[in-house]
Structures are given as C-alpha cells and as structure tokens.
C-alpha cells in the first residue's frame, strides 16, 4: 500500500486557484449565463485537479469517491426541498395565493417604506420558523412581486428579503444552523443566541437604516400607474378569495411547530393545487389547454404547475413575467450546480486539502481580533470551496474549538463567529447550496442581490470589529472567583 503524504500549501491551493480562474473567465465571457452550465463544468474540472493531487499524495480513487458521495449526500435534503419549493411556487401561482399576496401588498405598502417593511417581515417570519429557505420561498416570492410592481430594482428587493430571512435563520432557536454552531463550539443553545445579540442587533439596525434611507431616495413618479396596472391585471385574472391566505399561514404554523421543512412545503404545494381547483376554474382551464372534463383539466393544470413552467398571460409583458412560476423543472439547473459543487468539495476534503489551508490560517492568529478574523475567513473559505453552509460551520468549529479553549476564550465566542460568518455568507456564493437555491427561487442572480444583502455583508465585519475592539469578549477567567485569580 502506498504511504499517504500530507499536501503542501501550494498543492492545496492549486485546485482553488484553478477554479477561481475558470469561474472568472466564465463570468467575463458568459456573464449571468455562466450558471447555465459553464460554472458546473468549472467545478467538475476543479474536482479533477484535486483528484490528481490526491493520487500524488497516495490516496485511492475509492477514497475520493466515498468522500464525493458523502459530500453529495449531505446536500440531498437541500435538493429535495428545492424541488418541493418549485412545486409550491407553481401551485401557489395557479391557485392565486401569490397573486393575492402581491395584490394586497400593493394596497398596503408604498415604495418609500417597502424595502424596510420587506426586511422586517422576512426577519419576523424567519425568526418564527427558523428557516430562511421557507421564508424566501413563501413571503419572499410575494414580496419580490410587490417590489417589482413598485418598479424597484430586483437586486435591491432580493437583498432586503435575503437580509431579513438570514437574520431569523441566524437567531431563531428553531434554526438548524443556530443549533449546529454551539454544538460544534461546545456551548449551549441559549447562551449562544444571547451572545449573538451583541453583533446581530447592531447589524440588523444598520441594515434597516440603510433600507429606510434608500426608500426615501426612490423615484415614485411612475409607481402609481404601474401599480394600478398590476392590480387590474391580477383582479381580472384571479378570484382573490381571503381563504387563500389560510394555506401560507398553515405552512408557517407547521414549521413553527417543528414539522420538518420538506413535508411542510409539500403539504403547502398540494393545498395550493386544491385551492386552484376550487377557486380558479378559469385559470385551471387556461393552463390545462383543451379538455372536456374539469376533473381532467384540474389534474393537468396542477401537474403542469408542480412540474414545469406556467405563466398567466396579460397585455403587459412585465405583469406576464411577474405571474410566472417554474415548477420542479425550473430547479434542475440549480440542483446540477449543487451536485457539481459538492463533488468539488468532496474531492478537496478526501485528501485533507481544505484542512491543510485552514491550518495554515490558524498559524497567523495571535490576538483576539486576528483569531476571530481567521475563523471568519475560514468559514467564508469553506462556503466558497465546500459549497455548503453546514460544512462552513462544522469543520471550522471542530478545527478552532481547542485553540479558543487553550487561549482562554469561552466557546460562545467561537459559536457566534461561526454563525456571523458561516451562516450568512453562504447565500452570497452562486455555487453554494444556499446561494444557488435562493437565486433560483427568487429568479434573481446571486451577483445581482449580493451588493444589497447588507445584513449578510455586515455580519462578519461586525464580529471581527468587535473582536479587535475587545468589546464584550468572554473569557474563561471571567468565571473565576477572586480567590482563584
């Protein structure tokens, strides 16, 4: 058996640099179209380079394959949820649920406060449900439609939705990442949540202030006319029965009651189909096409809504684009991207290339600020390379736990840093499971909403800044009595 060697730093960096070069070329040549296949190929070629280096280090193909399969398996739940979200968006359009949300949202909200309100609404829903994915897939889709009808740039709208959704994902005791981070660091859930408030609350306040000021700068001169056109189109196309709101409320209640996201969203999708059959017979017949039997038309329309693209045609191209859903088929390109990203992550992890780079970073962490900065950088690095937020929390958590303890810091400092940098930056990377999913669900490119996802951008800066300022840094010595010191 060939003896296994440890990778040098250069060997560990080669696949990363190779991937960065290919992704950069893709963006320059193809622009937003890079996600349609070119980025997937880049990830596969990057995995191949990592595999060649693994062979040089003495690892076998079987070891690499096992690591790749394990990596893909870790993202399987996310991919199933993504398919279910596709079905939900289709039946919620067919049934009039999303159009009703847009309709009444336009009645209530005005452009000046919209971005602020969108962020707050998503923060409340995600805090209650513990899920940014469910929040974006339900109220997020409706808010995007409202914002576009108000003639606000879709990247800014998506940034407000993402910012609010990831606040709740980061702070809710129901969130899986909020439970994972303290488990990796060695502290308890509520100590972790309370300690995160020192960085998270200021970050949210700054984010809300930005969106509030932004709202006052919007040109609203043409908004009233556009909004009236959207309201008229929705009113003419759908029966806006208030009972439609029972379905999203029920989905949110199920998630709050800790029903797993996949069955909760599936129930929501099926109930959306049922509401379509009951409340929208004209829409059902139109989507189904020619059919003598309403029962047959109902089956055809609901199946189309769940599986493929449907849209409600109007005289206004913008409104027609607004009343469009992609179904499961619309999510397949994102799933392809996720699989390729997890292949790259698995190939990098098989021979310890990721750990080799992360260990090098620790060597330069001497002060509190530099240690927290190194942790945050490692989390972002794993989001970029392993393409999964759980990896970006779990691996650095295991790596740094002993270092934090030996240097006299309480574990909640580590757990907070993991969340401030690992959870929230995952959605900013196009090939990460979170970035790919949210981009596809909203129909907005990751690079389009990235500059406006202020909460996600400020969070790692806030946690590093407080560490360098030595603000509220908890140490093990804080628990010692005077006689012990």
Residues 6+ apart with CB under 8 A from 366: none
Q: Which residues pair with 409 in a beta bridge?
A: 475
Of the residues 279, 298, 330, the one at which a domain ends: 330
242 and 312 in a common domain: yes
114 and 92 in a common domain: yes
291 and 373 in a common domain: no
Which helix (H) or strand (E) is 152 found in, with range?
Answer: none
Number of domains the chain contains: 2
Question: What does the pLDDT look like over 361-381, one tens digit per residue?
Answer: 777 777 889 999 999 998 998
432 and 311 in a common domain: no
158 and 14 in a common domain: no
88 and 128 in a common domain: yes
145 and 117 in a common domain: yes
Average pLDDT (136-143) is 84
Give the chain's mean pLDDT.
85
183 and 91 in a common domain: yes
Could you tell me if residue 287 is inside a domain?
Answer: yes
d(CA 111, CA 211): 11
Could you tell me if residue 480 is inside a domain?
Answer: no
Q: What is the largest CA-CA distance in the chain?
A: 88
Residue 253, pLDDT > 90, answer no
Question: What does the pLDDT look like over 445-468, one tens digit per residue?
Answer: 999 999 999 999 999 999 999 999
- pLDDT value for 482: 44
Could you tell me if residue 339 is inside a domain?
Answer: no
Question: What does the pLDDT look like over 382-427, one tens digit per residue?
Answer: 888 777 788 788 778 877 887 888 889 999 999 999 999 999 999 9
256 and 223 in a common domain: yes
d(CA 375, CA 353): 17
Average pLDDT (296-311) is 92
Supply the pTM of this predicted model.
0.74
195 and 317 in a common domain: yes
17: which 2 tokens?
Answer: 């640099």
- pLDDT value for 484: 42
325 and 270 in a common domain: yes
Could you tell me if residue 481 is inside a domain?
Answer: no
d(CA 351, CA 332): 30
Residues 6+ apart with CB under 8 A from 108: none
Boundaries of domain holding 212: 77-330
CA dihedral sign of residues 441, 444, 445, 449: negative
295 and 423 in a common domain: no
Concatenating the DSSP letter of every residue in 164-199 gives HHHHHHHH-TT-HHHHHHHHHHT--HHHHHHHHHHH
Could you tell me if residue 343 is inside a domain?
Answer: no
């Amino acid at each position: 058996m060939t003896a296994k060697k440890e990778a040098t730093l250069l060997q560990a960096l080669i696949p990363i640099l190779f991937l960065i070069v290919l992704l950069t070329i893709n963006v320059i040549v193809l622009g937003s179209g890079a996600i349609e296949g070119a980025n997937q190929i880049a990830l596969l070629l990057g995995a191949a380079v990592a595999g060649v280096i693994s062979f040089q280090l003495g690892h076998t193909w079987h070891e690499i394959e096992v690591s790749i399969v394990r990596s893909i398996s870790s993202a399987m739940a996310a991919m199933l949820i993504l398919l279910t979200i596709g079905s939900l968006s289709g039946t919620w359009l067919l049934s009039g649920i999303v159009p009703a949300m847009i309709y009444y949202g336009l009645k209530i909200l005005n452009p000046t406060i919209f971005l602020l309100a969108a962020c707050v609404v998503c923060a409340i829903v995600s805090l209650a449900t513990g899920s940014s994915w469910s929040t974006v897939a339900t109220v997020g889709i409706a808010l995007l439609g409202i914002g576009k009808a108000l003639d606000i740039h879709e990247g800014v709208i998506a940034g407000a939705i993402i910012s609010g959704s990831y606040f709740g994902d980061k702070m809710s005791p129901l969130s899986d990442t909020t439970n994972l981070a303290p488990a990796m660091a060695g502290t308890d859930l509520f100590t972790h949540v309370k300690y995160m408030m020192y960085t998270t609350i200021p970050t949210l306040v700054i984010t809300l202030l930005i969106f509030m000021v932004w709202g006052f700068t919007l040109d609203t001169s043409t908004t009233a006319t556009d909004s009236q056109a959207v309201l008229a189109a929705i009113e003419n196309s759908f029966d806006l029965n208030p009972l439609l709101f029972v379905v999203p409320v029920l989905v949110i209640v199920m998630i709050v009651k800790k029903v797993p996201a996949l069955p909760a969203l599936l129930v929501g999708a099926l109930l959306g189909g049922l509401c379509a059959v009951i409340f929208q017979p004209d829409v059902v017949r139109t989507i189904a096409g020619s059919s003598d039997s309403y029962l047959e038309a109902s089956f055809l329309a609901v199946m189309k809504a769940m599986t493929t693209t449907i849209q409600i045609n109007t005289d206004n191209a913008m409104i027609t684009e607004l009343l469009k859903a992609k179904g499961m088929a619309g999510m397949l390109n994102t799933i392809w991207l996720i699989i390729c990203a997890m292949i790259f992550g698995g190939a990098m992890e098989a021979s310890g290339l990721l750990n080799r780079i992360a260990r090098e970073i620790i060597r330069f962490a001497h002060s509190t600020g530099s240690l927290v900065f190194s942790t945050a950088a490692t989390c972002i690095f794993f989001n970029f390379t392993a393409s999964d937020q759980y990896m970006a929390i779990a691996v650095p958590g295991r790596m740094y736990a002993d270092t934090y303890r030996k240097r006299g810091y309480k574990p909640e400092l580590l757990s907070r840093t993991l969340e401030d940098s690992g959870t929230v930056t995952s959605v900013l990377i196009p090939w990460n499971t979170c970035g790919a999913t949210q981009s596809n669900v909203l129909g907005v490119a990751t690079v389009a909403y990235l500059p406006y996802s202020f909460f996600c951008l400020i969070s790692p800066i806030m946690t590093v800044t407080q560490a360098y300022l030595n603000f509220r840094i908890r140490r093990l010595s804080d628990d010692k009595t005077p006689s012990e010191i």
